[in-house]
Chains A and B, each alone.
Chain A
Amino acid sequence: MQKFIQHTGIAVPLDRANVDTDLIIPKQFLKSIKRSGFGVNLFDSLRYLDEGYIGQDCSKRKLNTEFVLNQPRYQGASILLARQNFGCGSSREHAPWALLDYGFRAVIAPSFADIFYNNSFKNGFLPIVLDSAEVDALFEFVHNNEGAQLNIDLQEQTVAAERAGLSYRFDIDDFRKSCLLNGLDEIGLSLQSADAIRRFEEKQRAASPWLYR
């Protein structure tokens, strides 16, 4: 997994609550058997005016110029600012894969759906929860300061907009933080507990033999 230590980049505001994973990456693109290549179809139904299909050359499609990701001032953005319950709906990990593949490294919102939040960490993609007032302030900052960047420091657990003197602290589990900072392979870590898993199985097999065939 790629590490996440610090990141500085342009933030793009997506001012809409309850953004679901069908909106982040529509189902026709889930037919891919790879982990990469989803970026061109991120927010497909919002970004383009036509219906997209898998394997299409997206450079020839008509863009929805109203959509915030298509606005010139947000080109090259790598931080997504979002509203509450971001990532609700399906468990598709294709959602964080698409965000990463597009070039995002982090998303900031007042709240996330559980499965999306969890999936993000497995990919070196950082979901940051700030309280609503803080997110509002960042929306306003980004709106008023074209080209301004946000700085994220995972070690310090802060998001800062230096130009405006804003700095907010966020919470994160120690385990997730350490996995991100060190780019750890979670499966490898869990397999260090192989003996404990075997002992659990022996005990369970004795108590509930019907669970084993």
Chain B
Amino acid sequence: MAKTLYDKLWDSHVVEQREDGTALIYIDRHLIHEVTSPQAFEGLRLAGRKPWRLDANLSMPDHNVSTDTAERAQGMDGIVDPTSRLQVKTLDDNVRAFNIPGYAMDDPRQGIVHVVGPEQGATLPGMTVVCGDSHTSTHGAFAALAHGIGTSEVEHALATQCLVQKKMKNMLVRVEGELGPGVTAKDLVLAVIGEIGTAGGTGCAIEFAGSSITSLSMEGRMTVCNMAIEAGARSGLIAVDEKTIEYFKGRPMAPGEEHWQQAVTAWRELVSDDGAHFDRVVEIDGSAIKPQVSWGNSPEMVLPVDALVPDPALEQDETRREAIERALEYMGLTAGQAITDIQLDRVFIGSCTNSRIEDIRAAANVVRGNKVAPTVKQAMVVAGSGLVKAQAEQEGLDQVFTAAGFEWREPGCSMCLAMNADKLGEGEHCASTSNRNFEGRQGFGGRTHLVSPEMAAAAAIHGHFVNVQDVIQER
């Protein structure tokens, strides 16, 4: 029978199928960070259990680390907030006590788990990948079955190398057509979420397919799968093609020469068969997508940059109308206001959604030779990993940003969720390349607008949103 990519990944990891409809699923890779793991390690200790298989785990601190270069140079002491410091130290202590492999805060390979995993080849096609973080869906870009888990499942994965799961439904999002100039993977996925809603993929693994998807780089595909969770799907998936295979050549944890051909042969099977059944199919015209900006407090509250902020009076559905009204109040926006009239206080380029080398290059191309608008209090670039940062510096991109007035920071999750010192003040508007615009996400009372790196860079220069397509055309 014809199988979807998800069916294949599921079938190849069933350890035991149970009569009650659940299955014990084997986990090939478990990524660990400091926020969702302390209680899991404590659980192991209390039960007298040991990790099942050490080499399947990879740990690193990312949420709480300081991105300030001077603070970072002081190591653990440089983390000013004692609760953040304790959490990072607890991870250090736990991985040492249990012998878990990983990168400490001062390791040049440290970074955001979802950037570092693929970068090191710790994520590979055909794997099951879990992490106590909802953006684990990122790794599906490599045809890995990847999803976020809570702390109880972190403990379960550590103790058994398995999870008890029920199979999800198959959903296909097919995006066809050439993306316009200045339109990125971020705009594509925001447009998809705007179309299907934040619960559009609930209960499903979403496979993204079509020419708009296959034309993306691996970095772009990671951005798309990263935000599958914002459409309600725990997992996003993209089939293996030549780009996928090429990506892993020479990665430290990728198969070496002795297994390379065998691995590639297996990886080429990781595509949905012709005629495979999807429970739901959504078709989107990629060529019609414009640069996107979120205006409200849910990722589905997103519009093309040339649109106007919606008027709740025009919304028929009561729940939605109330949500729009609440969002306009929280965001300090008025119905009918042009998106391009939204003035920005801060700009954040970073997060597991958009902090890879390609994102930084794209933003630098917009920034080069310009200055951050004087009305913008802070514009920062936070590379996703130490290696991304080093690569960007080798290309002189740090100079492009600092010359324009951007801050060039050390790798970490940073202002995406503001667990460290990087946060918005009350009422401040931020053009952010991150993934969530929930109330308070980037700081108490902070107002987040989700955009692509190019759009964030252009907004930093102009002090308000502009259509990056116009900026590109002027060149």
A178 CA to B124 CA in the complex, in Å? 36
Q: For residue B418, which residue of chain A has the nearest CB?
A: A27
Q: For residue A19, which residue of chain B has the nearest CB?
A: B438
* A137: Cβ under 8 A from any B Cβ: no
* A72: Cβ under 8 A from any B Cβ: no
Residues of B within 8 A of A23 (CB): 438-440
Q: For residue B126, which residue of chain A has the nearest CB?
A: A208
Shortest beta-carbon distance from B135 to chain A in Å: 9
Shortest beta-carbon distance from B10 to chain A in Å: 14
A210 CA to B121 CA in the complex, in Å? 11
Determine if B150 and A30 form an interchain contact, defined as CB atoms under 8 angstroms apart: no
Interface hits, A99-153 → B, CB 8 Å: 111, 113-115, 118-119, 122-123
* B160: Cβ under 8 A from any A Cβ: yes
Q: Of the 9-residue stretches A2-10, A157-165, A188-196, which lies at the interface with chain B?
A: A188-196
Shortest beta-carbon distance from B8 to chain A in Å: 13
A123 CA to B199 CA in the complex, in Å? 24
* B20: Cβ under 8 A from any A Cβ: yes
Q: What is the number of contacts between chain A and chain B, taking CB atoms within 8 Å? A: 197
Determine if A122 and B150 form an interchain contact, defined as CB atoms under 8 angstroms apart: yes
* B161: Cβ under 8 A from any A Cβ: yes
Residue from B20, B49, B439 within 8 A of A173 (CB atoms): B20
Q: A173 with B22: in contact, given A91-B36, A197-B15 (CB under 8 Å)?
A: yes
Chain A interface size range: 35 or more
A189 CA to B20 CA in the complex, in Å? 14
Determine if B319 and A17 form an interchain contact, defined as CB atoms under 8 angstroms apart: yes
Shortest beta-carbon distance from A129 to chain B in Å: 11
Interface hits, A1-37 → B, CB 8 Å: 16-18, 20, 22-23, 26-28, 30-35
* A166: Cβ under 8 A from any B Cβ: no
Determine if B38 and A26 form an interchain contact, defined as CB atoms under 8 angstroms apart: no
Residues of B within 8 A of A197 (CB): 15, 24, 26, 52, 160-162
Interface hits, A65-88 → B, CB 8 Å: 83-85, 88
Residues of B within 8 A of A211 (CB): 28, 124, 127
- Interface SS, B side: loop
A178 CA to B202 CA in the complex, in Å? 24
Determine if B298 and A18 form an interchain contact, defined as CB atoms under 8 angstroms apart: yes
The residue in A33, A189, A197 that gathers the most chain B C-beta atoms within 10 A of its C-beta is A33
A170 CA to B18 CA in the complex, in Å? 22
Q: A18 with B198: in contact, given A175-B21, A187-B47, A208-B266 (CB under 8 Å)?
A: yes
Determine if A22 and B90 form an interchain contact, defined as CB atoms under 8 angstroms apart: no
* Number of chain B residues close to chain A: CB under 8 A: 83
Q: A196 with B152: in contact, given A18-B298, A31-B83, A208-B266 (CB under 8 Å)?
A: no
Determine if A175 and B255 form an interchain contact, defined as CB atoms under 8 angstroms apart: no
Shortest beta-carbon distance from B57 to chain A in Å: 11
Shortest beta-carbon distance from B32 to chain A in Å: 13
* A174: Cβ under 8 A from any B Cβ: yes
A96 CA to B150 CA in the complex, in Å? 10
Determine if A93 and B36 form an interchain contact, defined as CB atoms under 8 angstroms apart: yes
Determine if A113 and B202 form an interchain contact, defined as CB atoms under 8 angstroms apart: yes
Determine if B156 and A34 form an interchain contact, defined as CB atoms under 8 angstroms apart: no
Determine if B26 and A204 form an interchain contact, defined as CB atoms under 8 angstroms apart: yes
Q: A34 with B323: in contact, given A91-B148, A173-B20 (CB under 8 Å)?
A: no
Q: A208 with B263: in contact, given A30-B419, A88-B232, A175-B22 (CB under 8 Å)?
A: yes
Residues of A within 8 A of B86 (CB): 31, 33
Shortest beta-carbon distance from B361 to chain A in Å: 29
* B186: Cβ under 8 A from any A Cβ: no
Residues of A within 8 A of B64 (CB): 31
Determine if A175 and B159 form an interchain contact, defined as CB atoms under 8 angstroms apart: no
Shortest beta-carbon distance from B56 to chain A in Å: 8
Interface hits, B64-91 → A, CB 8 Å: 64, 81, 83-84, 86-87, 90
Shortest beta-carbon distance from B155 to chain A in Å: 7
A212 CA to B54 CA in the complex, in Å? 10
Residues of A within 8 A of B134 (CB): 89-91, 115
Interface hits, B255-286 → A, CB 8 Å: 255-256, 259, 262-263, 266
* A64: Cβ under 8 A from any B Cβ: no
Shortest beta-carbon distance from A20 to chain B in Å: 5
Determine if B203 and A114 form an interchain contact, defined as CB atoms under 8 angstroms apart: yes
Determine if A115 and B150 form an interchain contact, defined as CB atoms under 8 angstroms apart: yes
Determine if A186 and B198 form an interchain contact, defined as CB atoms under 8 angstroms apart: no
Shortest beta-carbon distance from B106 to chain A in Å: 21
Residues of B within 8 A of A88 (CB): 198-199, 232
Determine if A175 and B20 form an interchain contact, defined as CB atoms under 8 angstroms apart: yes
A189 CA to B132 CA in the complex, in Å? 21
Q: A193 with B15: in contact, given A33-B90, A186-B164 (CB under 8 Å)?
A: yes
Shortest beta-carbon distance from B255 to chain A in Å: 4
A-B contact pairs, 13 of them (CB 8 A): A16-B323, A18-B198, A31-B81, A90-B417, A91-B132, A91-B133, A91-B150, A93-B151, A122-B152, A174-B20, A174-B21, A193-B162, A210-B254
Nearest 6 CB-CB pairings of A with B: A93-B150, A210-B255, A122-B152, A119-B150, A91-B148, A33-B38
